Amino acid sequence: MSLGPQFTGWFGELKTIVAQKLFLPSADYVDLNNVTIRTHRGTTQIDHVIISRYGVFVVETKNMSGWIFGSEDDPFWTKINKGNKLRFKNPLHQNEGHIRALSNLARIQPESMHSVVVFRGDCSLKTQLPPNVLASGYITYVKNKRQVFFTEAEVARIVEAIKAGMLPKTRATHLKHVDHLKQRFESTTTCARCGSPLVLRTARSGSNAGKQFFGCSRFPSCRYARNVE
Ligand SMILES: [Zn+2]
């Protein structure tokens, strides 16, 4: 018997919630989930922001089952599950945008921010990925970051700045975000991340070698890429 994607998704979610409640002491870590903030280009939605003296952890979660293939620089990664292939945006690059937006909003030095990508669900990472891409052990990863960046007062200031800047968690906020995203990411002429022109390129390496995509003309300082329909 195999569990349906909905069940594994729900179970993955539950496991993460329980782990966070059990192992990240709330006195040391403030966890804000589903944070939607305004950017100069619309809105951006962040799954988890964990604020502590050890820095601000910006967590992008992916609910997926199957084998995951990707690399740090590849604009797209691939998931293979029961013979079905799915291409998706490199979540490390997505998270760079989240970090920039949060850094601007709450005036946080990017050096004190940690990007974390967490895969939930029944999946395994099949290629070499940086240590901040995890299929398990997420809480341990966070707890092992012990370099102190902030005082208690700075932590409180950052938490308040994010809370003050985040949009209320309403359905209207969510729909507005989806609408902004749709407009931005449908463009084949303008970079959805930085607004520079897009250019047609061909992937030279990785699982998508030979395939064409639209990439930002500011590459490598902006790594935005999108599919050619
Ligand atoms: Zn760009």
| CA 216 / ligand 1 centre spacing (Å) | 4
Q: Which tens digit of pLDDT belongs to each residue from 33-77?
A: 899 998 877 889 999 999 999 999 999 999 889 999 999 999 999
Helices (H), the chain: 5-23, 91-106, 138-143, 152-165, 171-186
Q: Is the pLDDT of residue 2 over 50?
A: no
Distance 140 CA to ligand 1 centre (A): 33
pLDDT higher at 24 or 162: 162
Whether the bond between 220 and the residue before it is cis, its omega within 30 degrees of 0, is: yes
The mean per-residue pLDDT over the stretch 11-33 comes to: 67
pLDDT at 181: 77
User: Could you give the CA distance from residue 214 to residue 131 in angstroms, rounded to a whole number?
Assistant: 28
Is residue 25 over pLDDT 90?
no
Distance from Cα 224 to the centre of ligand 1, integer Å:
5
Ligand 1 center to 144 CA (angstroms) = 33
pLDDT score of 6: 47
Tens-place pLDDT, residues 116-170:
999 988 899 999 999 999 998 888 999 999 999 999 999 999 999 999 999 888 8
Distance 191 CA to ligand 1 centre (A): 5
Dist CA 103 CA 126 (whole Å): 32
The pLDDT value recorded for residue 97 is: 92
Residue 62 and residue 182 in contact, taking contact as beta carbons nearer than 8 Å: no
Separation between Cα atoms, residue 56 and residue 109, nearest integer Å: 10
Is the pLDDT score of 218 beyond 70?
yes
Residue 192 vs residue 102, higher pLDDT: 102
Q: Cα 177–80–228 angle (5° rounding)? A: 55
Cα 86 to middle of ligand 1, angstroms:
24
CA-to-CA distance for 107 and 213, rounded, in angstroms? 34
Average pLDDT, the chain: 86
CA 194 to centroid of ligand 1, rounded, Å:
4
Helices 91-106 and 152-165: crossing angle in degrees, nearest 10, is: 100
Is the model's pLDDT at 199 over the cut of 50?
yes
**Residue 183 C-alpha to ligand 1 middle, in angstroms?**
15
What CA–CA distance (Å, rounded) separates 91 from 134? 12
Q: What is the pLDDT of residue 35?
A: 94
Contact yes or no for 27/152 (Cβ under 8 A):
no
pLDDT of residue 162: 96
Domain ranges for the chain = 5-186, 188-229
Q: How far is the CA of 222 from the centre of ligand 1 (A)?
A: 5
Ligand 1 centre distance from Cα of residue 220 (Å): 9
pLDDT tops 60 at residue 172: yes
229, pLDDT greater than 90: no
| 165, amino acid identity | G
Q: What is the pLDDT of residue 226?
A: 87
103 class by beta-carbon count within 10 Å (0-12 exposed, 13-18 middle, 19+ buried): middle
The alpha carbon of 204 and the centre of ligand 1 are apart by a number of angstroms equal to 19
Distance 187 CA to ligand 1 centre (A): 12
Q: So what's the pLDDT on residue 173?
A: 80
Interval between CA 197 and ligand 1 midpoint (Å): 7
Name the nearest CA neighbour of 94 among 44, 145, 27, 132: 44
Name the pLDDT band for 111 (thresholds 50, 70, 90). Answer: very high
The pLDDT of 1-14, averaged and rounded, is 47
CA of 9 to the centre of ligand 1 (A): 32
Q: How far is residue 116 from each of residues 43, 212, 215, measured CA to CA in Å?
A: 20, 28, 24
